[in-house]
């Protein structure tokens, strides 16, 4: 494994191996038997701000023996219009790997091609692979497995989180229902490309949640969509709250990748009721990403 650019490019054995590695690395934290990034310097290039992504990667690289530098778009020539391929060819001669959080998926792909160094997608508008790995780790810890479980994603069905969950469901085989307004569902040609009969789309959140074990939500408006009141107004019936969860399985868990907008996509009461799981999910970004870094370093 040289890069992590998307969940789409992975497969079931790789996903399972990464989760198993994350379990081990979490248990061994502070007492790792090896430091696979010893002697390496990694960079993070962020054009989208972050709390969990930045802190978890900085800590993770250091705990695996490497050093890391943070580069916002204002710190480097990308912010003045330098093409990503030129930045990539410069950094590829100086560092050992790069973690990129940006808007365009093609920028991450181009950086990996032109730099010829390991590249990790820390979020694009297309996918959020690191978050999905943390989510799967949390499901494993809380429920033991995702096999035979019904998972639901509620909110914008055509954002980076929902698309990444759909790819994960395709490869791992669990049932996934995406509940979203019809105009916010993945296009038919995209779903045809995925070709996952275990993934269902619906505009009925109550029907989606019936018997569900994992209920996952995200902000209604992704970064760059702030202020789109017309789109936000579509989600009035899609809040994760006590009434909606009354239809879920008794042993259900609630996930949210954070930051959360209380009383919008999730009620204050439900977020606090499930805070232990949600903030365990946030912590698991560290362990899942360390598993990715360790796999790349092999």
Give the per-residue pLDDT at 213: 98
Mean pLDDT of 19-23: 98
Q: Which residue out of 40, 131, 185, 289 is catalytically annotated?
A: 131
Residue 73 has pLDDT above 80, yes or no: no
pLDDT for 267 equals 98
* This prediction's pTM: 0.95
**Does residue 268 surpass a pLDDT of 80?**
yes
What proportion of the chain, given as a percentage, has pLDDT over 70? 98
205, two tokens: 């959140």
User: Which of 34-43, 52-61, 79-88 comes out lowest in average pLDDT?
Assistant: 79-88
Q: What is the pLDDT of residues 227-248, one digit of tens each?
A: 788 899 999 999 999 999 999 9
Q: Is 163 a catalytic residue?
A: no
12-27 and 129-143 are packed helices; what angle lies between their axes, rounded to 10 degrees? 70
Contact at 8 Å (CB) between 67 and 35?
no
Residue 225 has pLDDT above 80, yes or no: no
Residue 147 contacts residue 122 (beta carbons within 8 Å): no
Q: Catalytic residue at 274?
A: no
Our answer to whether residue 257 is catalytic in this structure is yes
Is 105 a catalytic site residue?
A: no
CB within 8 Å of 138: residues ≥ 6 apart = 253, 255, 277, 280, 281, 284
Cis status, amide bond into 259, omega within 30 of 0? yes
Residue positions forming the annotated binding site for carbamoyl phosphate: 50-53, 77, 101, 128-131, 257-258, 285
Phi, psi of 200 (to 5 degrees): -120, 140
pLDDT at 66 over 90: yes
pLDDT of residue 222: 81
128 belongs to the catalytic site:
yes
Which listed residue (3, 54, 96, 101) is catalytic?
A: 101
Continuous segment of H or E residues that includes residue 200 = strand 199-202
Is the pLDDT at 81 greater than 90? The verdict is no
The DSSP output letter for 17 is H
Structure confidence by residue, pLDDT tens digits, 92-147? 999 999 999 999 999 999 999 999 999 999 999 999 999 999 999 999 999 999 99
Residue 82 pLDDT: 86
Least confident among 37-41, 98-102, 155-159, 220-224: 220-224
Token reading at 290:
């360390």
Binding site residue list for L-ornithine: 160, 218, 222-223
> Which of the residues 218, 239, 252, 287 is marked catalytic?
218
- Average predicted confidence (pLDDT) for the chain: 95
Q: How confident is the model at residue 79 (pLDDT cuts 50, 70, 90)?
A: low
Lowest-pLDDT range of 30-34, 129-133, 259-263: 30-34
pLDDT digits (tens, 9 = 90+) for 188-219: 999 999 999 999 999 999 999 999 999 999 99
């Amino acid at each position: 494994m040289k890069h992590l650019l998307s969940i789409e490019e992975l497969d079931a054995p790789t996903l399972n191996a990464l989760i198993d590695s994350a379990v081990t690395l979490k248990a061994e934290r502070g007492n790792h038997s090896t430091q696979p990034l010893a002697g390496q310097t990694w960079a993070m290039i962020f054009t989208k701000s972050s709390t969990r992504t930045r802190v978890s990667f900085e800590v993770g690289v250091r705990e695996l023996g490497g050093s890391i530098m943070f580069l916002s778009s204002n710190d480097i020539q990308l912010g003045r219009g330098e093409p990503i391929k030129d930045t990539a060819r410069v950094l590829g001669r100086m560092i050992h790997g790069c973690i990129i959080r940006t808007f365009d998926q093609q920028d991450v792909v181009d950086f990996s091609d032109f730099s010829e160094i390991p590249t990790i997608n820390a979020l694009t508008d297309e996918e959020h692979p690191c978050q999905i790995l943390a989510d799967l780790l949390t499901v494993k810890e809380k429920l033991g497995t995702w096999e035979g479980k019904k998972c639901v994603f509620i909110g914008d069905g055509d954002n980076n989180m929902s698309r990444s969950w759909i790819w994960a469901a395709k490869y791992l085989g669990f049932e996934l229902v995406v509940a979203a307004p019809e105009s916010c569902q993945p296009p038919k040609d995209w779903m045809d490309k995925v070709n996952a009969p275990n993934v269902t789309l619906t505009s009925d959140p109550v029907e989606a949640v019936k018997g569900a074990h994992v209920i996952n939500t995200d902000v209604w408006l992704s970064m760059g969509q702030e202020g789109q009141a017309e789109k936000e107004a579509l989600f009035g019936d899609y809040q994760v709250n006590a009434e909606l969860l009354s239809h879920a399985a008794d042993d259900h868990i609630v996930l949210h990748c954070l930051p959360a907008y209380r009383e919008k996509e999730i009620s204050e009461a439900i977020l606090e009721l499930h805070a232990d799981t949600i903030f365990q999910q946030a912590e698991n970004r560290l362990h899942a990403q360390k598993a990715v870094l360790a796999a790349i370093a092999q």
